[in-house]
Amino acid sequence: AEFCLEGIDYLRYFTIEFKDNLLKILAITLILLTGAVYMGRSAMGTSPGKKRVEDYKQEKNFDAKKQVFTNRQQDILDAMWKQNFSIKNMCYNIVDFLKKRKDIEPTGKLPEVKPDLAEFLKPSDELKVIWFGHSSFLLNMDGVVVLVDPMFSVAAAPVSFMVKRFQEAVLPLDELPEVDYILISHDHYDHLDMDSVKFFANKTAKFITPLGVGARLEGWGISAERITEKNWWEEASFEGIKFIATPAQHFSGRGMFDRNKTLWASWVLQSKNHNIYYSGDSGYDIHFKEIGDRLGPFDVAFLECGQYDQKWSEFHMLPEEGVVEVKKVFSGALGNVRFGHAYLV
């Protein structure tokens, strides 16, 4: 009864506070209720099956009872999740999202430079990087081409009219050079894009992912032989490049009922000439120091720095953490990612 009364109370709040946009509110509600069975069903992907889940039960960061992956401080993150997604705060957050706030997106096209692919592919001991916005970037690392978290679709969502990107990527997928490896940090829509993955279904690029994400890829037509899945602190080596999965403080999920069914990770890439760190999405915790102590120093650290909020600081670093605190842990150049792509909530 208390739950129902609270819901009615905030329905009144919706009606009074945002009466001119009730149709938008109803539309979003309808999308949330029907997306899993209609428009977004394919994009949500395949969750890990029984065999995978059975294998995960031996992992220290997997809760066998709940059948989900966990963070070091999972109780703190669960409390934050409960607080932000209560009926009360969901109402406030949806209203806040629908209101037209100032300065949340550019008024014109963002500046960009068309990459010189001939120069990018030219043999060199230097690390070469092309950034496509947000967390998608292309590396030429000792002659091996690695594509990280490719998101080339118009929207970071299961439907094309939500969370739209500001502008197209500076290069479309069909203009990319041949990609050797595709590295994925986790399965959220702004990091794992179904259409971008499907583009590589008939190509030779191999995928390297955290545990469970391979199930998503297989559901989109990527053969299991082309997929390598790793838990934190596990590694895989290909063509002189060592890919090491490292901890992150985040979560996963593409639908309403699959939160934390797949793992999230940061990554270290090591070669003869380079030692690189990519944070993926992560709140600040002691894992940064542990990674730096065990695998550093790094030539370059690609760290998320944008689209943060105090409400979810456990999942995403605030600027002072990403720039000031992490610089104490990592040496070398700092490359900021996870901005300049779309307005995310």
Beta strand segments in 161-262, E? 181-183, 206-210, 227-230, 235-238, 241-246
| 132-171 per-position pLDDT tens digit | 888 899 999 999 999 999 998 866 566 655 666 766 778 9
State mean pLDDT over 114-124. Answer: 95
> Going by DSSP bridges, is the β-strand pair 275-278/300-304 parallel, antiparallel, or unpaired?
parallel
At 223, which amino acid appears? S
| 7-43 per-position pLDDT tens digit | 444 444 444 445 555 566 566 656 655 554 444 457 7
Predicted pLDDT at 325: 63
Give alpha helix (H) positions in 278-325: 287-295, 319
More confident position, 7 or 97: 97
> What sign for the dihedral angle of Cα 69, 72, 76, 77?
negative
Q: Residue 168 burial (CB < 10 Å; 0-12/13-18/19+)? A: middle
More confident position, 93 or 161: 93
Quick count: other Cβ atoms within 10 Å of Cβ 298?
A: 23
Q: How far apart are CA 27 and CA 24, in angstroms?
A: 5
Predicted pLDDT at 112: 81
Residue 2 pLDDT level (bands cut at 50, 70, 90): very low
Predicted pLDDT at 7: 44
Report the predicted TM-score, pTM, of the whole model to 2 decimal places: 0.82
